Amino acid sequence: MQKQWVVVMAVLAGLVTGGAALVWYGPEVQAVAVGAKAPNYRTLDLATGDSVSIRDHYRGHVTLVNIWATWCVPCKVEMPAMQRLYDDLESRGFRIAAVSIDVEGPEVVRDFASSLSLTFDILHDRRGDIQQAYQTTGVPESFLLDRSGVIMKRVIGAHDWASAVNRGLVERLLGDSGTVHSAARSDGPTDLPPAH
């Protein structure tokens, strides 16, 4: 009986030591939240075929990182508003990095983008690992980054990116004043019309 307790205590001591080592020496997990630097995730740019690092590639630009899929109806609903905002503000340094997580090949994603006449950057992460890197809960999910890659707004679900409020936020971020003092998170209802 005493030998059995020695084994149990040894196992418990090992578990405690292992857990402490993981906490002390393990990788630090950073929250992907408003006010934090966006993860520097690499993915495929479908226009060039190059692998691009989101934060590095878009540094110096106000960028909307949108994680989406071709099968996602709310994603399709919000894309025209994203295109309108891009059309109006691209010349001032606004960019959109729309990252598809479709498991199908790039041609499916290109065809989808073409059917909506999208001209902003379409990226493809076939494995969908960006969802873990950006700690998303589903699609669509969007992150508005300032010129230095800091998350200024996070939106879960479809959103009207061409609304006056969003346009105003992007314009302030594009302005020469440097920073916007009120970052926002929105995971509630959107101001988009219902999908048909």
Torsion of CA 40, 50, 118, 69, to 10 degrees: -60
Q: Is residue 77 assigned to a domain?
A: yes
pLDDT at 70: 98
Cβ proximity of 153 and 185 under 8 Å: yes
Q: Is residue 74 assigned to a domain?
A: yes
pLDDT at 8: 72
Q: Is residue 21 assigned to a domain?
A: no
Record the pTM. Answer: 0.78
pLDDT at 179: 42
What is the number of structural domains in the chain? 1
Cβ proximity of 180 and 152 under 8 Å: yes
Distance of CA 129 to the CA centre of its chain: 11
Q: How many C-beta neighbours within 10 Å does residue 174 have?
A: 16
Q: Is residue 20 assigned to a domain?
A: no
pLDDT at 61: 98
How does pLDDT run along the chain (196 residues), one tens digit per residue?
Answer: 688 887 777 777 777 776 666 656 655 567 899 999 999 999 999 999 999 999 899 999 999 999 999 999 999 999 999 999 999 999 999 999 999 999 999 999 999 999 999 999 999 999 999 999 999 999 999 999 999 999 999 999 999 999 999 999 999 999 954 444 444 444 444 444 433 3
Q: Is residue 132 assigned to a domain?
A: yes
Q: Is residue 97 assigned to a domain?
A: yes
pLDDT at 130: 97
Which domain covers residue 158, as residue numbers?
A: 30-186
pLDDT at 10: 77
CA distance linking residue 104 with residue 101, whole number of Å: 9
Q: Domain with 54 in it: what CATH number?
A: 3.40.30.10
Q: Is residue 151 assigned to a domain?
A: yes
Q: Is residue 147 assigned to a domain?
A: yes
pLDDT at 189: 41
pLDDT at 25: 61
